A and B are shown apart, each in its own frame.
Chain A
């Protein structure tokens, strides 16, 4: 299983690198699909069908929307000369990256090594999940019962995304 996952991962890396360097935007979008569908097969091999279903459906709809956008606008990539405004933006991005990296390091350094002691919550979850939640699917039991707050946050993330899209794509306010 490790060998097949490694082969799929190599395919995904090749697809991602090609999609960055592709001249045609349509082929860049379609090679992005390699990454998504490769991830689906990885999830299936790692025995996570819940994630695989979500990933394959979202990837398909995402690909349809992206192909429609590319076909409607332009298939050529446009370059713009960097000016002083771009320089300020780039400096701000690098400063923010440095700050974020520092805080990631500060928050992650006191933790133990990955996989040693942070996974001990998995045991109590698996032991009595069917009796406690009454759900035959353990993933749904964890997602909606033990981790209800996280799921509420996930639902609110979608609402926020829709609000952002509706704010950006309005024409009446711009004129």
Chain B
């Protein structure tokens, strides 16, 4: 896939990092402010999509990227389920039990297991959206070969 002009490339370089940091902020503050794993994950996927569209890439590199992202997505989904199972083992005997100490309401590290779920779901959503985008590009590039 070809990249775009130098103006788009420089603008993408400037903006993509900020978009990525904003996605991380939305995920980690999901239990304090509006947002959470789903919204932040899509924002992070947006920053990756911006970089891929602006700079373009080789098909083989894209396929390699897709394989890695698939592994990340599967691991994040397993971690969501395992965190729920940990509530079954260490908690009072039912899944998705919030067994960690709650802390002060409104502090960044509080609410027990909720930030963990937010982080894992965020990684999973970001990887899923990026895989869908990558597989569309790879399909187009491979059908032109």
Contact = CB atoms under 8 A, between A and B. Distances in A.
Interface of A: 49-50, 52-54, 57-58, 60-61, 64-65, 68-69, 72, 130-131, 133-137, 139-141, 143-145, 148-149, 151-152, 154-156, 158-159, 161-162, 165-166, 169, 171
Contacts of A169: 135-136, 138-139
A65 B112 CA distance: 37
B133 A156 contact: no
B2 interface: no
Given A54-B42, A139-B36, A159-B77, A149 B95 contact: yes
Nearest to B101: A134
B30 A152 contact: no
Nearest to B29: A137
Query: What is the interface residue range for chain B against chain A?
Result: 35 or more
B112 A155 contact: no
Given A61-B42, A151-B117, A165-B135, A136 B105 contact: yes
B86 interface: no
Interface in B1-60: 26, 30-36, 38-39, 42-43, 45-46, 49
Contacts, number: 134
B139 to A, nearest CB: 4
B136 A65 contact: yes
Chain B CB within 10 Å — which of A57, A64, A139, A156 has the most?
A57
Question: Helix, strand, loop or mixed for chain A's interface?
Answer: helix
Of A130, A166, A169, most B-chain CB atoms within 10 Å: A169
Nearest to B120: A155
B34 A49 contact: yes
B71 interface: no
A158 B31 contact: no
Interface of B: 26, 30-36, 38-39, 42-43, 45-46, 49, 70, 73-74, 77, 80-81, 84, 95-96, 98, 102-103, 105-106, 110-114, 117-118, 121, 124-125, 128-129, 131-133, 135-136, 138-140, 142-143
A111 B134 CA distance: 45
Contact of B36 (A50, A155, A156): A50
Given A60-B46, A64-B49, A137-B36, 12 more contacts: A50-B34, A57-B46, A61-B49, A65-B136, A69-B136, A134-B111, A135-B114, A148-B117, A158-B128, A165-B136, A166-B135, A171-B142
